[in-house]
Each structure stands twice: as structure tokens, then as C-alpha cells.
């Protein structure tokens, strides 16, 4: 098992513990509020959040934003809490896969902790133990258990056994209320509206955990702010801003972006001293299995469009192209390339697939072939497999730059080359020479 103990900077403040609990529920349902700290059991969460290293980095970063003073890891909740109280994180003992190992592996580390790391259970015993010269948990374990229980109480031994993993801890898991509303007093006054988004980040982290615990999604949220006491009379008590989405979501990235865009255009009437975040429209979410592929054609088109627009903005529209089909029988005019940012034409109606196979690769210009004994050659004599397919088209197509018509009169064949594979070749008609040309390659 892998436990994390989060010790808020002000554990006596109810809001600090409650906000830490709500944040922790975004990572695991096994959350405990115990003796001024919050404990998280994370064994089942490592793979869900990208592995141990990614999970540790994410938890450490968000805990700092939330105002958590200390974090510590251990195979038991009471052990992690004792390490946190002593200021010893010991994340290095956790394996590369997030496995804390057996509790016995951590005994040398726990033996060096002070007795005060056991918390309230050891407060009454600190002075008698100090008079005996017992200052560490290792020294406490070495004392006769019967004498310790008789003189100092069984509660001290129970806390010690839980810390070392000798007995079951029997935790009672935390729950969340029906409605979300969280407050935060700012460490300093803010007079920039966009800066309120950064100051509201701890509140958004709490809301995300609350939504995950409720298996719900928010479709609207409101950020309230209260102005500083020393303000102009006409500035009012404060203000509020509500953002809405078309669908409920537990991942608040989209709502955060909307809130940032609204705040960037807003001007505060006075410096802000306090923020309050509330979830206004909360709906239950239907769980779906994740997939590597988009779940619907609409998602596919949306993701492709966003990707192409991003690439075109960075590289230039002339560097990001997409194919376009054209109604033409000539292979070199069946399609062309246009800018991906151009609006696509209407989707063509379904038609009967062409009966004649088309090559995957076309040469920019047809290559004239050598003819020996009335057989075209390309890396050996060609064997004609299928054909002919006669094409007479382009009589309407004029190339003004070359001042010529692009009409073609050809007989196409599918041929086999001894070394080059399957080819698309044609023989000209009405030109007087009946020459053979290589036009494309089949994959």
C-alpha cells in the first residue's frame, strides 16, 4: 500500500482541512481526516494518473498551491503522518512503480523519529519518557510493553503499532456535502481581475475533487469576490462572475479558460480581499470507458480541425495542405492539394466505386518507356496483366500558361515488372507513334 500524509500549514483551521479533503478526493476515494492532517491511500491511483513519478509531481505541485505545508509517504497512514510531523518526506524509499514495500523496510526510518511524531497519543507520555532517556520511536519499542501500557496507557502502544503496521488502522473514510461552496482569503490584495484566476486555483482544485467524489460534473460555476475594507464608497461590497458550458464536466480546464477570458476583459472597482467559488449547476455524469480513439465522428472532426488550425497558424497555411477530389477521369487530375484552412467543399454523394484499380503513387510527369520487340520495358520486359481501359477526356481543359489543350487519348494497362512490381502504364492514341509511358506505381 502507498499512503500520503498532507499536513496543512494551519491544521487547526476547519477550512484548511476541509479544502485539503476535497482536493484529495479528486485522486482517491480513500481519504481520511485525522488529527489535523489528511491521509490518502493511493495504491489504486498510480496508473490512473500516469504512474508514480507523474502522480508525485502533480500532488506536490497542487499541494503547494493549496497551502499544504508538509507531505510524507509511507506504507501505512499513521507512519506517513508521523513522518510528516517530523518533516521527513522519505519519497526516495518508494519504488519506481510507486510500491512502498513491506512496513519492515521502513522500520529503520521510523526508529529515528521523535516520540512526539505519534501526535496526541504521546503528549502525556513525553515527559516521563524523556526522564527515562527515551526520545525516539525505536527506543520506545525497546521498552517492555507491559510496563509501558501500565504506566503510560494502551493508547500510546496502539498508535505505535499502527505506525509500524503491526495492527490494522481501521480508518473511517471522508465524505463530501451535497453542495459545494469554498472561500479563500487572499494573502494580499489584488486589483487586477485576471490575477484572480490564479488566486482562485486552490478553489478550483477543491471543486474538481468534490465533483470526482460526487461522480458529477459542473455546467456552471460562479466566482464571487469581496472588496477590501479600505475602498471607495461607490465601489460596492464586491462582485461575481458566472461562466457556463454546454455540457457538464468534471475536468474544469474548459471552464477555467472561459473564466480567464471573462476576467481579462473585466475591471475591478476596488482591490479584492476574499474569493468564494460555488458550483451552480451540478449534474450526474455517466461513466464511459476511455479509448485511444475519439468516441464519435463529431469528436474526430473537432480534434482534426483544431490540430490543422494550430499547425497552419504556426507553420503557415501554404505548408499545411489537404487533398481534394475532383470529378475527372484523368489520373493526374483526379485530385489536387489545397490549404487545410480553406473551407472543405460539400461532401460528395456516394457513388459506385471505380471498377478499374487506381495506382497509389503517380509520377509528376509520365515516363516514356523503351519498346523492344513490341513490348514495353521498365527494369525488364513488362507483362500486361489487365487492360486496356480507354480514356478520352480533357478536350475542354486548356492550359493558358502553355497555350495548349490538355486532352488525352490513352489506353491504360496494369503491368508487372520483374523488379519494380505492379505498374500503371498507358499507350498513346491518335498521336501517330503509339508510345508507351509509365504513369504510376501500385503499393
Q: Are the beta carbons of 29 and 102 closer than 8 angstroms?
A: no
CA angle (152 as vertex; 147, 158 as ends), nearest 5 = 90
Distance CA 206, CA 242 (A): 18
CA 436 to chain centroid, in Å, comes to 56
Pick from 189, 223, 187: nearest CA to 206: 223
3 state DSSP class of 28: coil
What span, in angstroms and rounded, lies between the C-alpha atoms of 204 and 198?
A: 10
Q: Cell numbers for 29, please give them.
A: 476515494
- Let me know: does 134 contact 140? Beta carbons within 8 Å: yes
Q: Are 430 and 348 in contact (CB under 8 A)?
A: no
Q: Residues with Cβ < 8 Å from 396, sequence gap 6 or more?
A: none
> What are the grid coordinates assigned to 98, written together?
510507486
Contact yes or no for 174/32 (Cβ under 8 A): yes
First and final C-alpha spacing in the chain: 53
Q: Report how far residue 361's alpha carbon sits from residue 439's, in angstroms, rounded to the nearest whole number.
A: 9
Q: How far is CA 51 from CA 96, 125, 337, in A?
A: 9, 41, 43
The tens place of each residue's pLDDT in the chain, 443 residues long, gives 888 888 887 766 667 788 888 888 888 889 988 888 899 998 888 888 888 888 888 888 888 888 888 888 888 888 889 998 888 877 666 766 667 777 788 888 889 999 999 888 888 889 988 988 999 999 999 999 898 888 888 899 999 988 888 888 888 888 888 888 888 888 888 888 888 888 888 888 888 888 888 888 888 889 999 888 777 777 778 888 888 876 777 777 877 887 888 888 888 888 888 899 998 888 887 766 656 655 555 556 556 766 676 677 667 678 888 888 888 888 888 888 887 766 555 555 544 556 788 888 899 899 999 999 889 999 999 999 998 888 888 778 877 776 777 888 899 999 999 999 999 999 998 766 789 999 999 97
pLDDT at residue number 193 = 85
Annotated domain spans of the chain: 3-163, 181-284, 304-342, 361-441
Strand (E) positions, 211-271? 216-227, 238-249
The predicted pLDDT at position 242 comes to 87
**Residue written as grid cell 477521369:** 329
Could you tell me the three cell numbers for 172? Answer: 473511517
Angle at 363 between CA 357 and CA 367, to 5 degrees: 105
181 within 8 A of 218, measured Cβ to Cβ: no
Please give the Cα distance from 205 to 61 (Å, whole number): 11
The cell numbers describing 277, all together, are: 467559488
CATH code for the part of the protein at 181-284: 3.30.1490.100
Q: 476515494: which residue's cell?
A: 29
Amino acid at each position: 500500500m502507498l499512503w500520503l500524509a498532507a499536513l496543512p500549514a494551519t491544521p487547526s483551521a476547519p477550512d484548511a482541512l476541509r479544502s485539503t479533503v476535497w482536493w484529495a478526493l479528486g485522486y482517491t476515494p480513500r481519504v481520511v481526516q485525522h488529527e489535523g492532517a489528511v491521509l490518502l491511500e493511493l495504491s489504486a491511483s498510480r496508473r490512473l494518473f500516469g504512474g508514480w513519478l507523474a502522480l508525485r509531481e502533480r500532488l506536490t505541485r497542487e499541494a503547494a498551491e493549496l497551502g499544504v505545508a508538509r507531505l510524507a509517504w509511507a506504507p501505512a497512514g499513521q507512519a506517513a503522518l508521523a513522518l510528516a510531523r517530523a518533516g521527513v518526506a522519505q519519497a526516495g524509499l518508494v519504488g519506481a512503480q510507486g510500491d512502498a514495500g513491506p512496513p519492515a523496510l521502513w522500520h529503520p526510518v521510523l526508529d529515528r523519529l521523535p516520540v512526539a511524531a505519534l501526535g496526541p497519543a504521546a503528549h502525556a507520555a513525553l515527559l516521563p519518557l524523556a526522564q527515562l532517556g527515551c526520545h525516539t520511536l525505536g527506543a520506545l519499542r525497546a521498552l517492555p510493553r507491559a510496563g509501558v501500557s501500565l504506566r503510560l496507557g494502551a493508547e500510546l502502544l496502539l498508535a505505535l503499532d499502527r505506525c509500524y503496521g503491526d495492527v490494522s488502522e481501521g480508518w473511517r473514510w471522508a465524505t463530501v456535502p451535497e453542495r459545494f461552496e469554498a472561500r479563500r482569503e487572499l494573502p494580499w490584495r489584488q486589483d487586477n481581475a485576471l490575477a484572480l484566476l490564479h488566486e482562485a486555483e486552490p478553489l478550483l482544485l477543491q471543486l474538481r475533487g468534490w465533483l470526482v467524489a460526487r461522480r458529477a460534473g459542473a455546467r456552471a460555476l460562479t466566482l464571487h469576490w469581496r472588496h477590501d475594507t479600505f475602498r471607495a464608497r461607490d465601489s460596492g461590497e464586491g462582485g461575481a462572475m458566472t461562466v457556463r458550458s454546454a455540457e457538464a464536466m468534471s475536468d474544469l480546464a474548459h471552464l477555467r479558460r472561459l473564466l480567464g477570458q471573462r476576467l481579462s476583459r473585466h475591471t475591478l472597482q476596488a482591490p479584492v480581499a476574499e474569493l468564494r467559488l460555488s458550483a451552480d449547476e451540478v449534474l450526474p455524469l455517466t461513466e464511459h470507458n476511455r479509448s485511444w480513439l475519439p468516441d464519435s465522428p463529431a469528436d474526430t472532426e473537432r480534434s482534426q480541425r483544431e490540430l490543422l488550425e494550430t499547425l497552419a497558424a504556426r507553420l503557415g497555411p501554404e505548408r499545411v495542405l489537404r487533398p481534394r477530389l475532383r470529378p475527372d477521369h484523368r489520373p493526374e487530375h483526379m485530385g489536387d492539394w489545397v490549404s487545410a484552412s480553406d473551407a472543405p467543399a460539400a461532401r460528395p454523394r456516394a457513388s459506385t466505386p471505380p471498377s478499374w484499380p487506381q495506382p497509389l503513387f503517380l509520377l509528376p510527369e509520365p515516363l516514356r518507356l523503351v519498346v523492344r520487340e513490341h513490348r514495353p520495358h521498365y527494369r525488364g520486359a513488362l507483362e500486361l496483366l489487365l487492360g486496356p481501359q480507354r480514356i478520352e477526356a480533357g478536350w475542354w481543359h486548356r492550359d493558358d500558361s502553355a497555350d495548349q489543350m490538355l486532352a488525352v487519348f490513352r489506353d491504360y494497362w496494369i503491368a508487372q515488372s520483374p523488379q519494380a512490381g505492379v505498374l500503371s502504364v498507358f499507350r498513346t492514341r491518335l498521336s501517330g507513334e503509339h508510345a508507351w509511358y509509365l504513369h504510376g506505381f501500385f503499393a
